[in-house]
């Protein structure tokens, strides 16, 4: 797909989604509905998503020269937030800037506490989905390509990961397939989620791409399209039953 075709596709989807936003706004005016991400007892129309931008603050994640994973994760997460909000989703992030979720003084082990707090943010928001954003890095520079992961044996997570990967393959150069792993957040939460490894910082071509807004938006758009496909297929299955 050329980038022009991609843009057309995304804009037409966004236009449809923006129509939905208008309908929701009108419905809210008449019905006096609010759409907080919490408050699951309310009749909520729009799906909720929590985005976890991996690392932050003292924890840079993978580094390659002056390119630091935490910054790219946050940029992609903010692009994803923007797209999802435009598409009528309710969205929260585990972090909105370059900070960790723990105080520097917290001992015992920082990383575990940081992950526990991310999990707490996800659970408190009670979203329909959560998306974890990271970048990869390997000792060898030859590996490249975005890849989506689900928790081992999570059927719903597997479906979502496959759907996101489908669009990553369509609108980025990746030839990878969705896979599974053991990841704290995906394991400990009952909410349907997946981990998007946006690409390899260790590969020079991909490292350049990952720093570009246009490429970050592609990763975000693929994730959104995957969420849409998952919801659509699930809706059809429910109707089919
Ligand atoms: Zn990472």
Cα 67 to ligand 1 centroid, rounded to whole Å? 13
Cα 147 to ligand 1 centroid, rounded to whole Å? 13
Q: Could you count the other beta carbons within 10 Å of the beta carbon of residue 130?
A: 27
d(CA 18, CA 214): 21
Enumerate domains of the chain plus CATH numbers. Answer: 3-37+44-240 (3.40.630.40)
Cα 134 to ligand 1 centroid, rounded to whole Å? 4
Residue 6 confidence class, pLDDT cut points 50, 70, 90: low
d(CA 131, CA 80): 10
Cα 125 to ligand 1 centroid, rounded to whole Å? 23
Cα 161 to ligand 1 centroid, rounded to whole Å? 17
pLDDT of amino acid 174: 98
The length of the chain in residues reads 241
User: Would the pLDDT of 240 be above 70?
Assistant: no
Q: What is the mean pLDDT of residues 148-163?
A: 97
Q: What is the pTM of this model?
A: 0.82
**Interval 184-201: pLDDT, tens:** 999 999 999 999 999 999
Cα 100 to ligand 1 centroid, rounded to whole Å? 13
Cα 136 to ligand 1 centroid, rounded to whole Å? 7
Average pLDDT in the chain: 86
**Interval 102-116: pLDDT, tens:** 866 555 578 889 999
Cα 32 to ligand 1 centroid, rounded to whole Å? 41
Nearest alpha-carbon partner for 56 in 84, 39, 75: 75
Cα 73 to ligand 1 centroid, rounded to whole Å? 8
């Amino acid at each position: 797909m050329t980038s022009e075709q991609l843009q057309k596709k995304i804009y037409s989807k966004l236009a449809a989604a923006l129509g939905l936003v208008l309908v929701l706004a009108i419905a809210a005016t008449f019905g006096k509905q609010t759409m907080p991400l919490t408050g699951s007892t309310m009749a909520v129309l729009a799906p909720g998503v929590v985005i976890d931008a991996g690392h932050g603050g003292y924890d840079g994640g993978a580094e390659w020269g002056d390119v630091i994973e935490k910054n790219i994760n946050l940029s992609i997460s903010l692009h994803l937030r923007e797209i999802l909000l435009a598409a009528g989703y309710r969205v929260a992030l585990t972090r909105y800037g370059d900070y960790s979720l723990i105080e520097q003084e917290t001992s015992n082990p920082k990383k575990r506490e940081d992950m526990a707090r991310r999990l707490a943010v996800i659970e408190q928001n009670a979203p329909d989905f959560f998306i974890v954003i990271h970048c990869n890095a390997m000792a060898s520079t030859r590996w490249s390509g975005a890849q989506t992961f689900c928790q081992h044996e999570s059927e719903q997570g597997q479906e979502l990961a496959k759907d996101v990967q489908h669009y990553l393959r369509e609108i980025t150069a990746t030839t990878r397939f969705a896979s599974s792993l053991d990841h704290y957040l995906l394991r400990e939460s009952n909410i349907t989620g997946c981990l998007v490894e946006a690409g390899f910082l260790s590969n020079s071509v991909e490292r350049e791409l990952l720093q570009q807004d246009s490429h970050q938006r592609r990763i975000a758009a693929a994730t959104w399209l995957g969420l849409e496909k998952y919801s659509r297929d699930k809706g059809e299955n429910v109707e089919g039953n």
